[in-house]
Every structure is written in structure tokens, then in C-alpha cells.
Amino acid sequence: MSSDTVAPAPRSGFSPAQYAICLNGIVWRETLRFLHQRERFIAALVRPLVWLFIFAAGFRQVLGVSIIPPYEVYVLYEVFITPGLVAMIQLFNGMQSSLSMVYDREMGNMRTLLVSPLPRWYLLSAKLVAGTSVSLLQVYTFLAIAWLWGIEPPLIGYLAVLPALILSGLMLGALGMLLSSVVRRLENFAGVMNFVIFPMFFASSALYPLWRVKETSPVLYWICQFNPFTHAVELIRFALYGQLNGISLAVVCGCTMLFMVGAIVAYDPSRGFLARRGGPGETA
Amino acid sequence: MMVAVEHHAEALQEVASPPALAIDGVSHSYGPRRALADVSLSIPPATFVVLLGLNGAGKSTLFSLITRLFATQHGQISVFGHDIARAPGAALRRLGVVFQLRTLDLDLSVMQNLTYHAALHGIGRRSARQRAKDLLARVELSDRGDDKARKLSGGQMRRVEIARALLHRPRLLLLDEPTVGLDLRARADILSYVRNLVAEEGVSVLWATHLIDEVSEADTVAVLHHGRLLAHGPAQDVIAAAGARDIGSAFARLTEKVTGPPEKPA
């Protein structure tokens, strides 16, 4: 047995290269895990595809979409809901990765992450970046299938949508992380579906243009306007056609910051929920 | 009842360097339920300390505090002189942990699990792989690096977790009930491997368990019961102070006097 277990006292602090290694490691692991869990990959694709192939086909005749920015011509209903479905993929992914992190047997994985000596805000941010990367994989696979289905935004849109996807992915992941830390009741995914995903998804511009909502219910219209998910959808919708929706950009940036700061505070050992929850799921 | 013991070799070392782990007056409550009451414990470098306690004694809470899963409410914890609250990075990088729960990623290979952990400590891929290979060789799992963690037996998983905890060359190793659920052979292997780390490499170990037969006469023992530290010192002294024949009956005598968890003072 060599005696290299005991090293000379390490230096204090970490170099930028070490921060980069850490981020890279977390993203790499998250991606590997996602690729290994085939069911999760398939589920993440089937969900929006069902909406696209079945729901949109059925609704095509019922719901006409007039010409509204960023569209310059009449678009089919399936074209209209594609950005909404992209955002839905990210919404599911954000909730799933953040909540599973805490409530599943992944509690152990959360602990191995948090004993890293790097600052906790950095670890949580890296975790968000990793979750967002996974959502990008899902989204681009979906967009490729949608293209075969005849949904063909301009080529430049596929590039322009990338920064929008990163931002919305971060926002929704941070929201999931914040919820996972502060809301005790959301212990299973069904609860999250009912109280977070469905309301956010349906009270948004994902499935119908908001001017139509305004005609039927001004109250609902305002709820949709204040729903950050609406702005994620609109940011993606505009970007997919090479345009920028400034208000949505501002809202998504603001909400991302807000949710992230909230999550970091909630995971702070002295203030966070971990202490209040009554122990680390301990048996001893 | 606290057994205070002078230990000459340890005393000498303590002058030279700060203790591997110093827990000073730590109390912790979950709401009204008090999990730890004024626990003080010091682990000198290169010592094997057994934290002995039944389920619910507060062992896992203590581990959560040392690893800074949550902050200490009262008292101080430091690792080689680095306060876990004020300098968490410096303290955590000197610390290796094996949690009670299995924390390997079952879908990833053994090597992928190890390099992920190395990345969390800022160790690059190449040196991480080399280090991981060395450590796998030492826990006699050299040929399992490319296998999915799922394929390993319970004892093998534990050995990988110990290798993982040593990747960043910590000088203090914490193990929370590391042998639970293992067969006799695997238990003995892991115990002797960790004891070797102490004897040959000067690693300090805090080994939490409820299994009395894991204590050897030469160990330092800390008895935790209902959140209180009832005894702390070399096993022989703890046995003598309790007026018992062996550590098992010493533990029984110490713990039978204390019934019910301590109430939190209003």
C-alpha cells in the first residue's frame, strides 16, 4: 500500500480551471444519466409529440389563428403550438430534474453533490446548467421530428432559438429547484403536475394566442400575462423566427434571477429547508 | 457521565497539529425535538474513533452537521482547524464521507461514478482516472471499473464508495453505518481496510455504528445515546469506568440509565 492517501495540506480556494472541471463533470453526468434512462428520453419526446400529432390535428379546424407577430402568414395550428410544446418539454424537464433531486432516492445524490467543497451557489448553478443542457437535447430532437411533420421554421431560427432555450431552461429549472426546497407538499410528481405544470401550461400562450383569451376572459388574460411561462413561450416563439421579444426577454431574465437567488437562499444550510424538514431522511 | 481520558501519544500529536475533527458543544433540534445535546468530541490525527449509538441516537444528525448539509445551531465544528461554518470549502476538501444511504449512480459505470466525484473536487479527468485506478486496485476491484454500479454486490458498492471518498486525498474519513446490510465477510473486509488506512496512512476515521462487535479494544469509542455523548475515550477506559467486562456490557450499562430523549429547555 503506498502512502499517497495523505496529501500535503491543500491550498485554499479553487482555480477557475477547477470550477470549469466541476461544471463539466456535473453536466457530463447529467447527460449520461439521461441517455442511459431510455424511458425518460422516450417519455420526454412522446409527450409533446402526442400534442403535436393528435391534439393539434384535432384542433386545427376548431381554432383558427390569425396573423400575429412573429408570423407573417397564416399558420397552421400545429405550427402555432410548436414553441409552446418546446417550452413544455423544458417545463417538465425542469420540474423533473429538480424535484427528483430531492424527493427520490436521489436524496443520496444530492448529498454527494453538496459535500463538494466548491461554493454551494456554484454547485446549484452547475446543476441548473446541466438540467438545461439535457432539455436542449430533448428540444432539438423534438424539433427534428417536428420538421419531418412539416413544421419548418427558417433555418436561422434553429440557431437563434438556442439562447432563448438556454434562458427559459434555466428559468424553469430554477423554479423547480426553488419549489423543491420550499414547498413541502410537492413530494410526488402528481402534485407537481396538478399544481404547477398544468396551471402554468394552460394559463399561458402555449396553446392559444392571448388575444383570443382576452375576448373570453380578461381576468384569465392577465393571469396569462403574469405567468412567466407565457414569456418563456413567447421568447422561444419569436426566436424561432429570428426575432426578439424584448418584454419576454426581460421577464425571463428577471424571473431566472429571482428563482435562482431564491433557490440558493433556500439551500443555504443555515436558512434552508433541509434543516426544517426534520432530518436528512435519517434512520439513525 | 463523561469519561475524560489522557492519552499520551495523542496529546503529543495535538500540540503539533489541530485535531482532525473537533466538535465543540454542538446541539441541534428539529423543531421541538432535540436530536443532539451539547456534544463535544475530538479526533486526533491518525485515530480510529467508533461512534457507537443505537438507531435514533443522533449519529446521522451529527454527520449532517459535519458535512454541512445544514448549519450548526449551537456549537462549533472544525476539520483540521477549519471551521465548517466560516470556511466550509477548506473544511470539506479535507473530508471524505461514506453516507449510510447508497449514493452510487447505478446507471453509470464504476469509473464514471469516480470521475464524477473527482470533478466535484476540481480534479481533472486524466488525473482522476489514474487516481481512481489506484484506489480500485486497493479495494480489489480493478477489473470492475467499466461495469455498471448496478452489477456490484452490496459489499463491492461500499468499497467503491470508500474509494470514492478517498479520491481527493482527505485526511479525515467519515463513515455512517458503512456495514449495514452486508454479510459477515464483507463487513470484516471493509472494517480491516479502513483500519489499515488509519494504521498505514495516518488517515483519521469516524466510524458510526450500532454494531458493538465492530469495536476493538484499541479503538477510541464515543457513546452517543438520545443525542447525548455518554462516554468518550479509549475502549478499555470506557469499559473500566462503566465497571463492565466488555464494551457490549459497558454500552448496555451506560445507555440503560438514560431513558427518553432529553427535552429542549424552554
Verify whether the Cβ–Cβ distance A278 to B171 is below 8 Å. no
Conformational region of residue B56, where left means phi above 0, alpha means psi within -120 to 50, and beta covers everything else: left
> Which one is predicted more confidently, A9 or B38?
B38
Residue pLDDT, tens place only, B145-171: 999 999 999 999 999 999 999 999 999
- Does the pLDDT of residue A244 top 50, yes or no? yes
d(CA B36, CA B28): 5
A211 pLDDT band, cuts 50/70/90, is confident
| A243, A69 contact by CB (below 8 A) | yes
Does residue A39 sit at the B interface (CB-CB below 8 Å)? no
Sign of the alpha-carbon torsion through B218, B223, B229, B231: negative
**Where residue A273 falls among pLDDT bands split at 50, 70, 90?**
low
**What does A22-64 look like in DSSP terms, one character per residue?**
HHHHHHHHHHHHHHH-HHHHHHHHHHHHHIIIIIHHHHTTT--
CATH assignment of B8-104+171-256, given 3.40.50.300, 3.40.640.10, 3.90.25.10, 3.60.40.10? Answer: 3.40.50.300
Please check whether residue A21 is in contact with residue B122, taking contact to mean a CB–CB distance below 8 angstroms.
yes
> What ipTM is given for this predicted complex?
0.84
> How far are the Cα atoms of B52, B177, B248, B251 from residue B212, in angstroms, in the given order?
7, 12, 6, 8
Are the Cβ atoms of A269 and B68 closer than 8 angstroms? Answer: yes
Cβ burial A74-107 (10 Å sphere, 16+ → b, else e): ebebbbbbbbbbbbbbbbbbbbbbbbbbbbeebb
Where in chain B are the domains?
Answer: 8-104+171-256
pLDDT of residue A9: 43
Of B214, B208, B173, the residue nearest A282 (C-alpha): B208
Averaged pLDDT, B132-157: 94
The predicted model gives B215-236 an average pLDDT of 93
Return the pLDDT at A114.
Answer: 86
* Tens-digit pLDDT profile for residues A79-121: 999 999 999 999 999 988 777 666 555 567 778 888 899 999 9
Give me the residue from B80, B92, B102 closest to A108, CB to CB.
Answer: B102
Q: How far apart are CA B199 and CA B180, in angstroms?
A: 23
Q: How far is CA A279 from CA A282, B33, B63, B77, in A?
A: 6, 11, 11, 18
Task: Please compute the mean of the pLDDT values over residues B6-19 and round it to a whole number.
Answer: 57
pLDDT for the residue B100: 86
What ranges do the domains of chain A cover?
A: 38-270
User: Bridge-partner residues for B82, per DSSP?
Assistant: B79
B116 with A284: Cβ contact below 8 A: no
Residue of A nearest to B96 (CA): A115
- The reply to whether omega before B44 is within 30° of 0 (cis) is no
Q: Report pLDDT for A235.
A: 97
